[in-house]
Amino acid sequence: MQYTLTHLQQLEAESIHVIREVAAEFQRPVMLYSIGKDSSVLLHLARKAFLPGKIPLPLMHVDTQWKFQDMYRFRERMVQDYGAELLVWINPDGKDRINPIDHGSEKHTQIMKTEGLKQALTHHGFDAAFGGARRDEEKSRAKERVFSFRNAHHQWDPRNQRPELWNIYNTKVSAGESIRVFPLSNWTETDIWLYIMREKIPIVPLYFAKVRPVVRRGGALIMVDDARLPLEPGEIPMQKMVRFRTLGCYPLTGAVESDAETLEEIVRELLLATTSERQGRVIDFDGAASMEEKKKDGYF
């Protein structure tokens, strides 16, 4: 009989508690599914939370149309493996029109992600939406609640958050309002990887190092994932052994040079790393405190 929980077991228990609380208290919850590793962990935890039953809520992917092709393939595989209901939402106002190359990362993210998400939540009338965000990712996330209240316009007010004590969560909302729920709040990047390793959770192959065609832009290695990425005059894609520490829209996500082809090698690389995972994300560098501004506006 084991009387003490390791920190991973404790995190797992706390996340399951949060997931069940949402299923028990909300009318129409949804799990935002971004296809990344955190989403994989979230999905795995959701399955555990309701075994031997099924996950009693749908998944939703707010698609920007600019994800890596590997991610779309992986998404379909997961839906089959988990037998989950998947909703896909593409902002109709920006569909096939807005892209990160012609309109810039800020506008693309604003329209396809932030606006798209808000439309989708309103359209389906969801009163709770799970996200895989972690507090260790970025400064303004460090004070995000596990149950984060959003008004009817999906906005976050960092100065007026509900106090959150013990593991007692206030789930009350009025019509139109909603709660963003972050079961992975207390996990770190290392915890996520160790858990993926321990539980053998499937993740998108892009996390593993492989020779891929990339171009160097503004210090970041951008993968030429399909023909939509216009090359600068004279720019020739290099074949480099790279992998991704974080996944988003491919023109906005920098690869890192790496030889880590297995989970064990990824964990080793991570433990010895000297830079943070969000360094590869272009959008965080749009302006000082930029994540906070996006979050106030409704970004996850």
Give contact residues for another protein (rule: CB under 8 A).
1-14, 16-17, 20-21, 23-24, 48-54, 135-136, 139-140, 142-143, 158-159, 161-168, 170, 172-174, 177, 185-186, 188, 190, 194, 264, 267-268, 271-276, 279, 288-289, 292
* Residue 62 vs 181, nearer CB to another protein: 181
Q: How far apart are CA 55 and CA 46, in angstroms?
A: 6
* Residue 17 vs 103, nearer CB to another protein: 17
Q: In this structure, which amino acid lies at residue 182? A: F
Strand partners, 241: 211
Q: Minimum CB separation from another protein for residue 121, in Å?
A: 18
CA 173 to chain centre: 24
* Residue 10 vs 69, nearer CB to another protein: 10
Provide φ and ψ at 89, rounded to 5°: -125, 125
Q: Minimum CB separation from another protein for residue 64, in Å?
A: 25
* Residue 235 vs 293, nearer CB to another protein: 293
* Residue 251 vs 254, nearer CB to another protein: 254
Q: Minimum CB separation from another protein for residue 120, in Å?
A: 23
Q: Minimum CB separation from another protein for residue 135, in Å?
A: 5
Q: Minimum CB separation from another protein for residue 264, in Å?
A: 6
Q: How far apart are CA 281 and CA 29, in angstroms?
A: 29
* Residue 200 vs 232, nearer CB to another protein: 200
* Residue 15 vs 91, nearer CB to another protein: 15
Q: How far apart are CA 212 and CA 131, in angstroms?
A: 29
* Residue 80 vs 160, nearer CB to another protein: 160
Q: How far apart are CA 92 and CA 65, in angstroms?
A: 11
Q: Minimum CB separation from another protein for residue 129, in Å?
A: 17
Q: Minimum CB separation from another protein for residue 296, in Å?
A: 10
Q: Minimum CB separation from another protein for residue 276, in Å?
A: 4
